[in-house]
Chains A and B, each alone.
Chain A
């Protein structure tokens, strides 16, 4: 075949260019780049998401050290959870699946971008070095409300991050003179132990309690409240553990008004 000299030169240059591209991309893929989404996370029956070990309960989980896992379910037209918080300096693995049609899970301005195909689980791992706020959106058409599908990812400074959950159980009304208690459950979602203080403020009174909870553990706290000192009337209370706060109102009533009721 008769090939012109210039054509030969161009052919060679083109091949060099192509091989160069492949080499660069290969380097990017196995070197510092982020790993490709692949089939590692397996498949799932979308009808059984609610019973699935991973997606039964969605949200952030601590694996230990600076490693976290975030389980997300996408559906028309929202993410569960829609707000995600992780600490700076962490390595986060997202697992995402869909309950209905194909969506995407896309963290704007980052490499976190995956298709979310029903029946499949997408897995990707990312480092978050600096605190910041990122929008999450769906970039795969998923029905008429597609453009309303969004979420928010917040990377908070490491020392502001915990996975503590606080819940309380307190009477609304108590007869003056009776003893009563405000109970709290503090659970620690981190793998590391938690040492902190719980503070209850009610009226002019303040109670403090040191709490130590193992990793993945929880503690029950009981605060005995002196109703005599409070006196009759409505008393707002606040229970604080680190950044978490629960509050309510306790009414102390005179003996004839009623009993000790919860709710």
Chain B
């Protein structure tokens, strides 16, 4: 069977088909771009400050900047884009609108309110008029304590995303009533499985905030168990990585083959991949805690094993994506062992951006395998290696795929043609080049011990000794990469703004996604049994987490041994710091 777009809607844009939904999606995309714009600029400030190329902020403010960069990019940018894409995917593939558009606006507005609360409380770190403190970075490890508004904002944002998930499920349920015998269309299947593991994993962070951190920041309870809230954070913290990644995967599965001129190799395998992510995304979080005390080695070992199996869906994806691209290229007349590569549409920024993002993701896979190795992790944990790694994953595999996708989506939801394809093509290439410099140099820095999250990594008592090259040369590459990335970012935003004002609305492509060579009828129906997979995922989480959590609570207490909050600012709290120094002085 060929499941390309239904003929009734062929050659119509998404805006023509779903004008109401298109508005929400456009709003979500713009929220995402704004986060990207601010966050990216702050990234440049960080890169220049750390490498001592240009320092114009106080080192203490560096951490306010870094908190904003982390939250805006890792949480706001990615998730706003995700809700936009998934809403598109569900409505397009089910060929029906959402059940109630007011509900759709409601979750979007809730996420915006949450973002504003979080953003303003972070801003309090540098603007005296705002009496909030939230220099806690996006991981907000207790007993560093943020203003309650920061936690409330996060909760609103996450609950908003839950409601978005509910919206997709409602839409699917409505469709199922109308189409009782049909398989779940692949894009909807991807959105739903991703939503399910999002529910599962955000439970941890919701628990951490609502039961522990928020009451503690409000003074309702006096103490927390830092290892417990940290473990609950990472219970969510690894799965969130896959949450960002899934829309990118979706693009690689359902857009890239079409852009290459062909079809997706296998619908069943794509379903298997998403089921594996549902099963394995959460019970691996402890691999972020290989170096934490208070967690027995056995639990770390289980997390490591699960993590390695989580490589499987990514390896399968690599295969399917490359095979689909090859199929497309051969349809376009490509021949030869590798000669088909030349037949791919390299002048298309949407294609090229996604292909380059996929390439960087493959590189990231290698540094990720190093991170996942429990003992090698000692060498790189919390070093700049890790920052280099996730600028390849979320900073490129995800971000570049999203930017490339935007070149296709923004015309779809606005009905306006992309302002400049050349600029877009230059932009994706420049991002790739910039990230090659920045990320490679960050990886190298990590190998000689350069710490992450550090405003001015120059020490009084010792110097770093790179095995190859010099610290200065490596820093210069980071700074150069950061500048190129920022230029690329500006090019992207300019193109988006000018597209919105573009009068040209001719020759817009129809709203379609890739058909498949091997369709859903080739896959067993059990793959669509979401209840079954959710149940197994829950069991795996229970198996992976019950014992470690029980032992953490057992040894440190549910609320910890009288651990109060710290807001360790140099100027505001010298007494506290002095006191702690005095106590240890003989």
Contact = CB atoms under 8 A, between A and B. Distances in A.
A4 B292 contact: no
B579 to A, nearest CB: 10
Q: Which of A21, A33, A42 has the most CB of B within 10 A?
A: A21
Contact of A45 (B63, B144, B561): B561
Contacts of A50: 583-584
B462 A108 contact: yes
Nearest to A47: B562
Given A145-B570, A147-B456, A152-B462, A109 B449 contact: yes
Q: Which of B291, B374, B381, B524 has the most CB of A within 10 A?
A: B291
A229 interface: no
B494 to A, nearest CB: 34
Contacts, number: 250
A212 B337 CA distance: 81
A170 to B, nearest CB: 21
B225 interface: yes
B301 to A, nearest CB: 7
A137 B457 CA distance: 10
Contacts of B382: 104, 106, 113, 139-140
Given A36-B300, A140-B382, A14 B312 contact: yes
B457 A147 contact: yes
B259 to A, nearest CB: 22
Contacts of A123: 293
Interface string B505-547: 0000000000000100011100000000000000000000000
Contact of A25 (B66, B373, B461, B568): B373
A21 B373 contact: yes
Interface string A20-54: 01101110110001111111011111110010000
B379 A43 contact: no
Contacts of A137: 449, 451, 459
B378 interface: yes
A143 B319 contact: no
B293 A7 contact: no
A158 B448 CA distance: 27
Nearest to B139: A141
A135 interface: yes
A117 to B, nearest CB: 5
Interface in A2-25: 2-4, 6-7, 10-11, 14-15, 17-18, 21-22, 24-25
Given A6-B323, A120-B294, A58 B584 contact: yes
A263 to B, nearest CB: 19
A25 B308 CA distance: 10
B103 interface: no
Interface residues of B, number: 87
Contact of B581 (A18, A78, A121): A78
Interface string A102-142: 10101011011111111111110000000001110111111
Nearest to A151: B461
A25 B296 contact: no
A101 interface: yes
A243 interface: no
B561 A138 contact: no
B55 interface: no
A43 B562 CA distance: 13
Contact of A99 (B225, B379, B463, B580): B580
Contact of B227 (A108, A111, A119, A134): A119
B369 A21 contact: yes
B309 interface: yes
Nearest to A121: B293
12 contacts: A4-B265, A10-B315, A22-B308, A28-B374, A36-B300, A38-B293, A39-B555, A50-B583, A113-B291, A117-B230, A135-B462, A137-B451
Interface of B: 59-60, 63, 66, 135, 137, 141, 143-144, 225-227, 230, 265-266, 268-269, 289-297, 300-301, 304-305, 308-309, 311-312, 315-316, 319-320, 323, 369, 372-376, 378-379, 381-383, 448-449, 451-457, 459-465, 518, 522-524, 551, 555-556, 560-563, 566-570, 577, 580-581, 583-584
